[in-house]
Amino acid sequence: MTRKIAIVLFNLGGPDGQADVKPFLRNLFRDPAIIGAPGPIREILAWLISSRREKEAQSNYAKMGGGSPLLAETKKQAQALETRLNALSGEREFRTFIAMRYWTPLVEDAVKAVKAWGADDIIHLPLYPHFSTTTTGSSMKAWAAAGGPKARTICCYPEENDFIAAHAKLVRESWEKASKPENARLLFSAHGLPERVVKAGDPYQVQIEQTAAAISQHLPEITDWSVCYQSRVGPLKWIGPSTDDAIIEAARDQKHILLTPIAFVSEHIETLVELDEEYAEIAEEHHAPGYTRIPALGVAEGFISSLAKLALTALEGPVGLKPPNGARICPADRSQCPCALTGMTHD
């Protein structure tokens, strides 16, 4: 009898159209992983923030046709992964399910769909390569709250070989298309987090730095690189340096800027608006010699290969947490690392 394997792809989600923008933002900011205030206060804050940000966000989504392209892009990745896995294993049937955290199809929709299909095994495969309590951690909690069955959970893959090689390939190709500028500076731009989240033991920043260092090892042609963080909102202090400041500094140093979205595996508002428009304008205003934006991974061959390998490896051993190489990779002080929370130690 063919064994049925469900691959649940966790992602953020995005509004389908203009009318969805405010409720999407409200879902985002009512998540206790995003705003840690007590329930009633958090609800009020979520309503206020979503109301204040609605028009600006609608304007940005209008540039992309009215809504977010994230679901369509995630569906392409899901189909590519499903096709790859089923081609590799004739004894098992793989089916992908999309579980968005803040817009449809929501995590609870994925729980219902997986149960209805009658999966024999479930693999949580986040489209967040780097673990954070605000992303994968929040989705895992939502899965449990929705009555989701026990699963094999891939917590992160910041240094997975094919994932790293796929990123490096895109950087090199973009550098070559820009005529191989010798004065290039590669900026790894990741979504930021409030500093308090990282100080509380979140491993996200450490893992971002691991990825950047690993990619740089594949790019001996580009020795000038740094990590920066984008998408800051609200009055709290966020981890840095900011992508804005990194671009201004590179322009001041007369560097051709190569900007890669290191924490985003799909094109969406943070890449198509922030990177392609807002940061490009900053680079131009400060007279950078050049500005090249590297594409997100999307359905790049190496990335889909990476996801397939992660899924197949997760099927080995018992149900539960499946960290990279089977062991904890985060420093001991990262107390919110899922390995730390389950008592797993380094090799």
Q: What is the pLDDT of residues 5-28, one digit of tens each?
A: 999 999 999 999 999 999 999 999
Domains of the chain plus CATH, in order, are 18-62 (no CATH), 161-293 (3.40.50.1400)
Q: Is the dihedral of CA 114, 92, 8, 60 positive or negative?
A: negative
Question: pLDDT band at residue 119, thresholds of 50, 70 and 90?
Answer: very high
Question: pLDDT band at residue 344, thresholds of 50, 70 and 90?
Answer: low
> Residue 235: its pLDDT value, please?
73
Give the global pTM: 0.95
Say if residue 240 is exposed, middle or buried (CB neighbours under 10 Å; 0-12, 13-18, 19+): middle
Question: pLDDT band at residue 347, thresholds of 50, 70 and 90?
Answer: low
- Is 323 within 8 Å of 338 (Cβ atoms)? yes
Q: Distance (Å, rounded) from C-alpha 155 to C-alpha 144? A: 15
- Is 229 within 8 Å of 93 (Cβ atoms)? no
Residues 196, 202, 205, 211, Cα dihedral to 10°: -170
Q: What is the pLDDT of residues 265-305, one digit of tens each?
A: 999 999 999 999 999 999 999 999 999 999 999 999 999 99
Q: ω before 323 within 30° of 0 (cis)?
A: no
